[in-house]
Amino acid sequence: MKNMKPLLIIYNPHAGSGQAEKQLPDIEAYLTKNGLDYVLKITGRPKDVRNLVTQSELNHYSAVIGAGGDGTLFEVVNALMRVRPEQRLPLGVLPVGTGNAFSRELGLKPSDWKKAIDIIQRNNPKPVDVGKVQTSDQQYYFINIVGIGLVVNIGQTTQKIKKLGPVSYSLAALWETMRIKPNRVKISIDGELIEDNLVFVEIANSRYTGTSFKIAPDAQIDDGFLDIILLKPIARWRILNLFPTIYSGRHIEHPEIETHRGKTITLTTTEPMPLMPDGEFIGHTPATITCESQALQLLSI
Q: Is 128 inside a domain boundary?
A: no
Q: Where are the beta strands (DSSP E) in 84-191?
A: 91-95, 125-135, 139-142, 145-149, 183-189
Q: Would you give per-residue pLDDT tens digits along the chain (301 residues)?
A: 455 899 999 999 999 888 999 999 999 999 999 999 999 999 977 678 888 887 888 999 999 999 999 999 999 999 999 999 998 999 999 999 877 999 999 999 878 999 999 999 999 999 999 999 999 999 999 999 999 999 999 889 988 998 887 788 788 888 898 888 899 999 999 999 999 999 999 999 999 997 788 999 999 999 999 999 999 999 988 988 898 899 999 999 999 999 999 999 999 999 999 999 998 999 999 999 999 999 999 999 9
Same domain, 29 and 158: no
Measure the CA–CA gap between 193 and 70, rounded to whole angstroms.
Answer: 31
73-92 burial: b if 16+ Cβ within 10 Å, else e: bbbbbbbbbeeeeeebbbbb
pLDDT of residue 1: 47
Q: Is 301 inside a domain boundary?
A: no
Same domain, 158 and 64: no
Q: Is 1 inside a domain boundary?
A: no
Q: What is the CATH number of the domain that holds 89?
A: 3.40.50.10330
Q: Is 129 inside a domain boundary?
A: no
Q: Strand, helix or coil at 227?
A: strand
Same domain, 151 and 232: yes
Structural domain harbouring 74 = 7-123
Same domain, 146 and 68: no
Same domain, 118 and 148: no
DSSP assignment string, 238-297: HHHHHGGGGGTTGGGGSTTEEEEEESEEEEEESS--B-EETT----BSSEEEEEEEEEEE
pLDDT of residue 46: 66
Same domain, 275 and 205: yes
Residue 234 CB neighbours (<10 A): 19
Same domain, 274 and 191: yes
Q: Is 196 inside a domain boundary?
A: yes
pLDDT of residue 119: 98
Domain count, the chain: 2
Same domain, 36 and 170: no
Same domain, 22 and 103: yes
pTM for the whole thing?
0.94
